[in-house]
Structure 1
Amino acid sequence: MRIILVTGTGGAGRSSVAAGTALAESRAGRRVLLVSADAEEPGPGGPQVLVPDAAADFRREFLALQARSGAAFDLLGAAPFEDAELTELPGSRHFALLRALRDAAAGDWDLVVVELPPVPDALALLALPEQLRRYLRRLLPPERQAARALRPMLAQLAGVPLPAQWLYGTTARWETELAAVQEVVDSPRTAVRLVVEPGPAAVEALRTARLGLALQGLALDTVVANRVLPADSPDPWFAGLAAEQHRHLAALREAHPELHELPHLGRAPRGPEDLVLLAVPEPAAPPGAPAWTVEDRRAEDGILVWHVPLPGAVKDGLSLVRRGDELLLAVGPFRRGVPLPAVLRRCTVTGAGLVDGDLRIRFTPDPGLWPRSTP
């Protein structure tokens, strides 16, 4: 199964590009699922469509949590909510979309095309499973569950389930769900595509997308330049507009050679035949995720170097802090806590430098932790 996540700048036509790609692949005989909040019912030969329902998803999950925690809430004197009282909270759409992605990946499809929100929200969405798992591990460490065998006995004496009992049970369920979503996001079968309309904001959106994805260890598959104007119009005003657009196209192509251009239809897409014209084929050689590698330079200068690819990063917006066995990276508007490779946990950070989008973090082995060679 191949999964294509489509994001882009607002109003650039990512919904149409996602629908057109899914429709073309479905007509070619593949089993295709389109996950989109804006998709219409498919016509003959079209893909299956899954429309995430954030409101229903929120009510279902909230009521299930309330039911599992009923005894504890009764102990606190809480009044339970009914279905009709519940209104989705901010962020519910993200969780509904992540669950839809997880469910789609578990289906029997050749291709799943998922329409994501615009670039900033899409990057936050893709980082969400890992971030939440990190928070859960810190706030409710798994090792604290070692004594959970005693909880049933204590609960029986108290007459109600102890809060820790349902809390850890809920945490374990969340961890399982988040791990399943993260597995889909991190899979080499999953690709991210960026849809932009050539203009002043396009190159900045590309830089932001590449940087945010690279920090998560993900690759940008294809950049789609949508609504490209013809360059041979005899009308001076139209020709000037097209010339400016093509200057932005050249900048996009320089930043990301894997650029696919889609012509302007002269109108909003009308029906399946127009959507098919906006289909984007698979790239000849899809890029792999940027590799985070450890270079062993102990023989030369006694250090190890961790290479972290961050295309488009600048030194002014970059910071890193080590906390235990994690490295807290901040680059521009993005942050991530990254577990250190095992070999670097026995080292101290002694410096870092950014060279052509490659963050090189220098580590020196700690003599007190590094195994000594025997004579």
Structure 2
Amino acid sequence: MTDEAPGARTLLVTGPGGDGTSTVAAATAVAAARAGRSTLLLSQEPADRLAALLGTAPPAWPEEPVEFADGPAVARVDAAGRFRAGVLAAQRHMRPALDALGAGVLDDDELTELPGAAPLALLHALRTAHAAGRWSLVVVDLPPVTEAIRALALPGQLRRYLRRLLPPERQTARALRPLVAQLLGVPLPAQSLYETADRWDGELAALQRLVEGPGTAVRLVLDPTERSAALGRAARAGLALHGVGVEALIANRLLPAGSGDPLLAGLAAGQRAVLDEFTRATRLAAPHPVPHLGRPVRPADLAELPLPPLGEPGDAGAAEPTVEDRLATDGLLVWHLPLPGATRDDLGLVRRGDELLVTTGPFRRALSLPAALRRCTVAGAAFTDAAELAVRFAPDPDRWPDRALAGVPRAG
């Protein structure tokens, strides 16, 4: 079974809280299903709210996908239920050890989910959906955008922590482990610990490929207010930092221009001014307008909302870091990272060994340096007018081949 069916796509729908993300996600899934695509909608909305949005009334929404005639399959991700099931399963697996220690066990009705359970449950559901191979499109109704980006970054961050705590290259052949332990005078981690870490790394790597792969993109939903635009701009930079592209910007609840009512006309002009500034700062294409209906959206409206057509895989990927070779002219290599939406005041940069730790607003990512840059020292950095973080590297003469530096001017 593969992690992702051939040609399968993932559309992640998010935005500042309260901007209509769930409605746009549901409408996107409905439109795709009616266009003939096998579609699954994943959501963490409460059961009653999800049922009301879709026009159904189940007393309790099951986690398994529910098929609807002429519509998408829908699955509600129950983070609390998944957490309880996981804890109970772990207790059953460890029961002999717990009994030997005289430890008590936890009952289902006393378990409450811990922080971090919701994003892990959502990511697990996403991978399970792709592994099933039943859908060509999975639409994910994500939580508000700051929380959503942290969830998408989780697999890569956890893999980094695993590699730091249990570096794979420090594994020792099983036959030599007792000898090495005696020489060092300390016990070595059990081989089973490394094997468990390898298994976890494989699972996290599969999730990371899904999140950062060319078949995944975001639909960013924005109710054009100053507050939403500020959150959305930071989110655009955070998505770029974590390698997730934006397929479309949805300008939700737009008021009609040219209204005879001065109040409505002023509000509409304000919305468009916010959008103009937002697209300029984030370098996104023109937003796709979804009009304000003048009332709450009803289930029958989902199929009628004017959403953009679905793009093709690979047409919305985030730009990757690149290295510019300026050795011949300036004696430098320049590492470029596109960060549209970022501002100079919100940027932070720290080099730690072979990594660059980049911060933009509330988001941080550790990026591995290419081999050539690992043999260099940081000579400076700037945020350019092209919305790129440009970090200058000067070759370290003690670690750089002499022939590569022949005739190269020294960096000042």
TM over 0.5, yes or no? yes
CA contact (8 A) 1:348 1:364 kept: yes
Aligned AA for 1:25? A
- Contact kept, 8 Å, 1:140 with 1:168, in 2: the verdict is yes
- The C-alpha deviation readout for 1:254-311, integer Å capped at 9, x for no partner, is 3422411101112111123444425432259943311210111111122111111122
* Structure 2 residue matching 1:146: 3-state secondary structure: coil
- Mean CA deviation greater in 115-124 or 209-218: 209-218
Q: 1:118 is matched with which residue?
A: 144
After superposition, what is the alpha-carbon deviation per residue over 1:148-188, rounded to whole angstroms, capped at 9, x for unaligned? 56789xxxxxxxxx984554444333222211110100110
Report the more deviating stretch, 24-33 or 353-362.
353-362
The alignment partner of 2:147 has SS state of: helix
Q: Is the 8 A contact 2:224 2:275 kept in 1?
A: yes
1:258 and 1:70 map into 2 onto residues whose CA distance is 58
Q: 1:121 to 1:166 in 2, by over 3 A?
A: same
Task: Give the RMSD, CA atoms, in angstroms.
Answer: 2.6
- 2: CA distance between counterparts of 1:63 and 1:163? 27
- Partner in structure 1 of residue 252 of structure 2: 226
Partner of 2:18, secondary structure, is coil
Q: Secondary structure at the match of 1:99?
A: helix
Shift of 1:192: 0.9
State how far apart, in whole Å, the 2-side matches of 1:171 and 1:272 are. 48
Counterpart residue identity of residue 109, structure 1: W
Name the residue aligned to 2:298. 270
CA contact (8 A) 1:17 1:278 kept: no
Letter in 2 for 1:95: L
Match of 2:87 in 1: 62
TM-score, length basis structure 2: 0.81
Distance 2:161 2:170 in 1: 15
The equivalences for 1:179-328 within 5 A come to: 179-255=205-281, 256-277=284-305, 279-283=307-311, 286-328=315-357
Return the offset for 1:77: 4.5
- The residue number in structure 1 matching 2:13 is 6
Once residues 75 and 194 of structure 1 are traced to their aligned partners in structure 2, the CA distance between those partners, rounded to angstroms, is 52
- Inter-partner Cα distance in structure 2 for 1:8 and 1:231: 24
Q: How many residues align?
A: 366
Q: Given the alignment of the two structures, is residue 24 of structure 1 paired with residue 34 of structure 2, yes or no?
A: no
* Residues 115-124 or 331-340, more deviating: 331-340
Match for residue 157 of structure 2 among 126, 131, 145: 131
* Greater CA drift, 342-351 or 118-127: 342-351
Identity between Structure 1 and Structure 2 (%) = 55
Deviation per CA, 1:327-346: give whole Å up to 9, x if none: 11222222111111111111
**In structure 2, C-alpha distance between the alignment counterparts of 1:372 and 1:9, rounded to whole Å:** 52
Give 1:63 deviation, angstroms: 3.1
Whether the 8 Å contact between 2:19 and 2:222 is mirrored in structure 1 is yes
- For 1:145 and 1:200, how far apart are their aligned partners in 2? 53
1:336 aligns with 2:365: yes
Q: 1:173 to 1:68 in 2, by over 3 A?
A: farther
Closer, same or farther in 2 for the Cα pair 1:167/1:230, shift >3 Å?
Answer: same
Measure how far apart 1:234 and its partner are: 2.3
Match in the other structure for 1:156: none
Structure 2 residue corresponding to 1:90, chosen from 115, 137, 159:
115
Q: For 1:21, what is the secondary structure of its paired residue? A: helix
CA spacing shift, 1:315–1:241, aligned 2, 3 Å = closer
Distance apart, 1:246 and its partner CA: 2.6
* C-alpha displacement of 1:43: 4.4
Structure 2 counterpart of 1:174 = 200
Aligned to 1:307, what secondary structure does the other structure show? strand
Alpha carbons of structure 1 residues 270 and 313: separation in structure 2 relative to 1, 3 Å = closer
Is 1:68–1:166's contact at 8 Å kept on the other side of the alignment? no
What secondary structure does 2:69 align onto?
Answer: coil
- Give SS of 2:323's match: strand
Say whether the 8 Å CA contact 1:151–1:165 is kept in structure 2: no
SS in 1 for 2:320: coil
Cα deviation per residue 1:195-253 (whole Å; 9 max; x = unaligned)?
A: 01111123212311111011112222211001111123322322322232232233234
Tell me if the contact between 2:216 and 2:244 (Cα under 8 Å) persists in the aligned partners. no
Q: What residue is the counterpart of 1:155 in the other structure?
A: none
Q: Which runs of 5+ in 1 are unaligned?
A: 153-161
Inter-partner Cα distance in structure 2 for 1:88 and 1:103: 21
Distance (Å, rounded) in 2 between the aligned partners of 1:165 and 1:297? 46
283-292 vs 349-358, which deviates more?
283-292
Q: Mean Cα displacement is larger for which, 88-97 or 101-110?
A: 101-110
User: Which whole-Å deviations, capped at 9, do the CAs of 1:98-126 have from their partners, x for residues lacking one?
Assistant: 10111122223121110111111011111
2: CA distance, partners of 1:327 / 1:300: 25
Q: Which whole-Å deviations, capped at 9, do the CAs of 1:53-98 have from their partners, x for residues lacking one?
A: 1122112322343444455555654333343432211221111001
Distance in 2 (alpha carbons) for counterparts of 1:70 and 1:373: 63
Q: Gaps (5+ residues) in structure 2?
A: 1-7, 57-66, 179-187, 407-412
- State the TM-score, normalized to the length of structure 1: 0.89
Runs of 4+ residues over 4 Å off in structure 1: 67-77, 147-152
